[in-house]
Amino acid sequence: MSKGKVLVGMSGGVDSTVTAILLQKEGYEVEGVYMKLHHKPGYHEENYTKAQRVGDYLGIKVHFHDLSTEFKEEVYDYFVESYKEGLTPNPCVMCNRTIKFGKMVEFADRLGIEKVATGHYIKCDGAFIYAAEDANKDQSYFLCEVKKEVLPRLIFPLGTWIKDDVKEFAAEIDVLKDFATQKESSEICFVETTYDEVLARHMEINVPGETVDAAGNVVGTHKGYMHYTIGKRRGFTVDGAHDPHFVLAIKPENNQIVVGKKEELEENTFEVKQINLFKVLTEFDCMVKVRYRTTAVPCHVVIKGDRAQVTLQEPVFGLAHGQIAAFYEGDKLLGGGVIC
């Protein structure tokens, strides 16, 4: 008996491939969609061919959906403009909110398909998102801005899987053996090597400027403010310094970076905007992650409108404006917002 239809986001990679296979085995009527998000030469020809190969193996239709215009407006331009403003953006979080679980869900509506699935390593019970079993691959942080209205429609079969087991599963299927050994995709799909190369297409990034201390005194030089993020400790000069210095702040209007010693990076409170919560909360204690690859720390959160005041019970270092703060209760994702 069919469990109904599900639209699977298929990238041509092993995770989305195994996702489609598992859902078909569970009894779902699977259709796939390959989403073209950017214009990297040769990228889509190769990966759409792989997605079609999976479709042929499973006997399912794989749609080609060009979302490059929407992706540029919602994700790519946000990335570039954020760096112009001296911020540290997280384009993957915005892509999940507006494209993968925004435009993809709208496409499912047009096809008359209720459920939507991807190869993300997370769990979802229809009301909340939870961290994956594989802590090294857990991607719950990147979904903290997804609209809560779509959660009941989402399926993530890989939430209980370990990545090595996914590869082993694919390797046992003759027609898909090469999927298990192909190179892992980059988190930021449109960045081939470094973000500097992307920014250089849109502006001059190599404009030397002043390095200043917290009091505003000029203490050295740097190669252009867009090369730096909060916490960076190399690539600039500090006259007469014997101890390591780190970037404390970025001043794009003056092409300046503010530097200081590590203890000056310590933060105990901060504000978050664009708050997105999966249930109504006004004041609560939880754990917060201020970057993807960091350990969550305990905090107290007070919500005021679409903003939140976060007070940490232990300090963090290198808090970057524009990055994402994700709130957790155990392995349950409560939501998140943009550090401001």
Are 305 and 324 in contact by the 8 Å Cβ rule? The answer is: no
Catalytic residue among 92, 124, 144, 189: 189
Question: Known catalytic residue: 95?
Answer: yes
What is residue 223's DSSP assignment? S
Please work out, in degrees rounded to the nearest 5, the angle formed at the alpha carbon of residue 97 by the alpha carbons of 95 and 99.
50
What's the fold here for domain 5-180?
Answer: Rossmann fold (3.40.50)
Return the sign of the alpha-carbon dihedral for residues 106, 111, 113, 114.
Answer: positive
**Thinking of the domain 266-339, which architecture would CATH place it in?**
Beta Barrel (2.40)
Domain with CATH 2.40.30.10 in the chain: 266-339
Catalytic residue among 95, 144, 286, 299: 95
User: Considering the entire predicted model, what is its pTM?
Assistant: 0.93
Question: Known catalytic residue: 144?
Answer: no
Region 212-260: CATH code: 2.30.30
Distance in angstroms (rounded) separating the CA atoms of residues 171 and 163: 12
Are 132 and 322 in contact by the 8 Å Cβ rule? The answer is: no
Domain with CATH 2.30.30 in the chain: 212-260
Mean pLDDT, consecutive 10-residue stretches, the chain (340 aa), reads: 92 94 97 93 88 95 97 96 94 96 98 98 98 96 98 98 94 80 74 87 95 96 95 92 92 96 95 96 97 94 95 94 97 97
Please work out, in degrees rounded to the nearest 5, the angle formed at the alpha carbon of residue 227 by the alpha carbons of 226 and 231.
105
| 1-12 pLDDT tens trace | 689 999 999 999
| 261-297 pLDDT tens trace | 999 999 999 999 999 999 999 999 999 999 998 999 9
Domain with CATH 3.40.50.620 in the chain: 5-180
Are 121 and 139 in contact by the 8 Å Cβ rule? The answer is: yes
